[in-house]
């Protein structure tokens, strides 16, 4: 029986991932880079790599530098791109809305006595800002940010940290996320997993080996009952 749920934040509760694609392309266009469709696909693919390797801002900086080199940008424009992209992508997260069904799902789970937590690659400051901005910080017993563990997702460390703090066995907990790294971390920690196929990683999620697949956030409570 599931007693607790761990949610990812970006793209799971906060609707910020898909808009980030257009934001990154817009940053490049503002710097004078007119990317053809083939190159736009490469830009989007690099954004996905940044999100998958997002345990440290420096991972993103390295990928953006390589992206600028691929696009033929001179070094000074690559530096400008990194600065503008970092600010813009961070602002997109901080300003993004919750998914429409988020509060309904959280209320439903709380009413059922399910304990909830957040496991995110965001900093504690960023995560707490967004949770308080949307008045949902009170739903969560624990928020595991990248500041609290040496290795973030896809390593199991943040899930194990949450389990220990919450006092549950892995088989009592389900990890819900929209990225393959969420599922990999949950499985490695021994927890149940629900892949949320509502973003830019849907194909990978279908191959992730998650226990169950949801195509909307609203399906999650029903799927938890099936575990």
Q: What is the pTM of this model?
A: 0.87
> Where is pLDDT greater, at 114 or 61?
114
Which single residue is written with the structure tokens 């953006």? 64
Cα distance between residue 33 and residue 71, in whole Å: 8
Q: Is 38's pLDDT higher than 60?
A: no
> Where is pLDDT greater, at 132 or 49?
132
pLDDT tens digits, 6-24:
999 999 999 987 778 788 8
Q: What is the pLDDT of residue 102?
A: 98
Strand partners, 14: 10, 98
Cα distance between residue 144 and residue 118, in whole Å: 6
* The CATH homologous superfamily of the domain defined by 4-15+97-226: HAD superfamily/HAD-like (3.40.50.1000)
Residue 196 CB partners (closer than 8 Å, separation 6+): 8, 11, 12, 176, 177, 178, 205, 214, 217, 220
Cα distance between residue 67 and residue 82, in whole Å: 10
Q: Is 139's pLDDT higher than 80?
A: yes
Cβ(199)–Cβ(11) below 8 Å: yes
Kindly list the domain boundaries of the chain, sorted by start residue.
4-15+97-226, 17-95
Q: What is the pLDDT of residue 104?
A: 98
Q: Is 34's pLDDT higher than 70?
A: yes
């Amino acid at each position: 029986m599931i007693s607790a749920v761990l949610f990812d934040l970006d793209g799971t509760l906060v609707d910020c991932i898909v808009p980030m694609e257009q934001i990154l392309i817009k940053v490049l266009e503002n710097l004078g880079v007119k990317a053809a469709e083939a190159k736009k696909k490469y830009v989007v693919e690099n954004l996905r790599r940044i999100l998958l390797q997002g345990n440290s801002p420096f991972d993103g900086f390295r990928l953006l530098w390589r992206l600028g080199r691929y696009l033929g940008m001179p070094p000074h424009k690559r530096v400008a791109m990194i600065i503008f992209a970092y600010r813009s992508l961070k602002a997109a997260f901080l300003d993004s809305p919750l998914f429409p069904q988020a509060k309904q799902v959280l209320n439903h789970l709380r009413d059922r006595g399910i304990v909830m937590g957040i496991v995110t690659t965001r900093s504690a400051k960023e995560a707490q800002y967004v949770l308080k901005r949307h008045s949902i910080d009170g739903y969560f017993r624990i928020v595991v940010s990248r500041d609290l563990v040496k290795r973030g997702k896809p390593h199991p460390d943040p899930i194990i940290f949450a389990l220990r703090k919450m006092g549950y066995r892995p088989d009592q907990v389900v990890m819900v996320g929209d990225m393959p790294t969420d599922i990999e971390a949950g499985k490695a920690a021994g927890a149940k997993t629900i892949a949320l196929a509502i973003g830019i990683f849907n194909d990978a999620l279908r191959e992730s080996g998650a226990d169950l697949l949801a195509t909307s956030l609203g399906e999650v409570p029903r799927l938890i009952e099936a575990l």
